[in-house]
Amino acid sequence: MEKKKKLTAYRLIGLTGTNGAGKGEVANYFRQKGYGYVSLSDVIREELLARGLEASRDNLIACGNELREKFGPDILARRAVEKIQGPTVIDSIRNTREIAYLRSLGDFILLAVDAPVEVRFERVRKRGRNESAATLEEFRLKEEQEKGSDDTAQQLEACLRLADLTIINDGSLAELWKKLEELG
C-alpha cells in the first residue's frame, strides 16, 4: 500500500478481525463518510433465514463453511459484491479466497480490527446476540474454530496477516474513531 494514500481514497474497504473487535463500529465510521455497507455475515444470515434457522454463532460458522464447500471459498464475497453500488465497506471477511476475489476487483484495501480477548468477550456479551459462548473459555474455544487452514473454512489468522493495515481497538469508541481519522 502506498503510504500517501488515505483509507477513504479506496472504493472498496474490506474489514476482517476477531469477534467483538469493533468491525461494526469501523463500518459505521465509513458509512458516515458516505460509504455503502455489505456484510459477508449478512449473506450467511440471509441463507439461515431462508432455511428457517437461527442466526447463532454456531449456525453462522457451519452455514458459511457449507456454502464455501458447495459453491467455492469466495462465494460469500461474490454474493456480497452483487449488492455493491459505489464506494463500499465490506464487513466480516474471514477467508483468504474472499480477500483474493475482492483484491481482483481493484481499488481495494483490507483493514484488520483486533482487541484483547477479554475486552471482546465483554463487548459481545453486551450486544445480546446468540454467540454460543457463555464464558470466556467457551468464547476462546469458539474463536479457535475460526482459525482454520482448510480452504473452505474460516481462516481468520491468515486474513489478519493479509491485512494492509491493523487497528487495535482496546479503548473507547472515541479513541477508535480518532485512530480511523488518523488513517483518513
What's the pLDDT tens digit per position in 24-51?
999 999 999 999 999 999 999 999 999 9
**pLDDT value at residue 9:** 77
**pLDDT value at residue 130:** 60
**pLDDT value at residue 56:** 87
**pLDDT value at residue 2:** 44
Question: For the chain, what is the radius of gyration of the CA atoms?
Answer: 16
- Note the pLDDT tens digit of each residue in 119-154: 999 898 887 766 667 888 888 887 877 777 777 778
Computed over every residue of the chain, the mean pLDDT equals 89
**Does residue 57 belong to any structural domain of this protein?**
yes
Give residue for cell 469493533. 22
**pLDDT value at residue 41:** 92
**pLDDT value at residue 46:** 95
**pLDDT value at residue 113:** 97
Cα of 94 vs its chain's centroid, Å = 6
Whether residue 95 is predicted with pLDDT greater than 90 in this model: the reply is yes
Average pLDDT score over residue span 162-167: 95
For residue 137, the domain's CATH number is 3.40.50.300
Q: How many CB atoms lie within 10 A of CB 150?
A: 12
150-to-16, 145, 180 alpha-carbon distances in Å: 18, 11, 32
End-to-end CA distance of the chain: 14
Count of domains for the chain: 1
Whether residue 183 is predicted with pLDDT greater than 90 in this model: the reply is no
Calpha distance 56→176 (Å, rounded): 27
**Does residue 138 belong to any structural domain of this protein?**
yes
**Does residue 2 belong to any structural domain of this protein?**
no
Q: Is beta strand 36-39 parallel, antiparallel or unpaired with respect to 88-91?
A: parallel
Q: Are 54 and 130 in contact (CB under 8 A)?
A: yes
Domain housing 41: 11-183
Give residue for cell 487497528. 167
**Does residue 92 belong to any structural domain of this protein?**
yes
**Does residue 5 belong to any structural domain of this protein?**
no
**Does residue 1 belong to any structural domain of this protein?**
no
Q: Are 30 and 103 in contact (CB under 8 A)?
A: no
